[in-house]
Amino acid sequence: MAAVSNVNLIIHKGTFFEEDFTLSGDDGGLLNLTGHSAACKLRKHPKSTTSFPFTTSITVSTGTVKVSMASTVTSTLPSGRCYYDLVLTNPLNKLNKVLQGNVIVEETSSIWRFQ
């Protein structure tokens, strides 16, 4: 498995968030995700005891992992700089962190119900 990639994200509070990550293997081709599962969480800092899980889905044919978060969840995120990572579990239950990065959580002033 290739080295951990750093990808920074921006999430606007109170809005739906979705991002697709196409993963490549050590040979530069698409990562074979057959039998894998994915977990992705956001935390204010990496060792925070409070986490906010993303919903994940894998498309094997494109080597893609989709992460998303409903507006009801993004509305509860702490504002400012946060941290996330994406971990894959292979069919042998081996864990591999494939992505990590900062998330800037920005306030959304146009959504009055979350003020």
pLDDT of residue 115: 45
pLDDT of residue 1: 57
What are phi and psi for residue 29, nearest 5 degrees?
Answer: -85, 180
Strands 95-106, 5-6: pairing kind: parallel
22 located within any domain? yes
Question: Cα–Cα distance between 10 and 4 in angstroms, integer?
Answer: 19
Q: Give 72's contacts (C-beta < 8 A, 6+ positions apart).
A: none
Helix (H, G, I), strand (E, B) or coil at 17: strand
114 located within any domain? no
**Segments forming the whole domain that contains residue 29:** 5-108
73 located within any domain? yes
Q: How many domains does the chain have?
A: 1
Domain CATH number, residue 18:
2.60.40.10
60 located within any domain? yes
Q: Residue 2: how many CB atoms within 10 A of its CB?
A: 13
Place of tokens 């959504």: 111
pLDDT of residue 114: 46
* pLDDT tens for the 115 residues of the chain, in order: 557 899 999 999 999 999 999 999 888 899 999 999 999 999 999 999 999 999 999 999 999 999 999 999 999 999 999 999 999 999 999 999 999 999 999 998 877 554 4
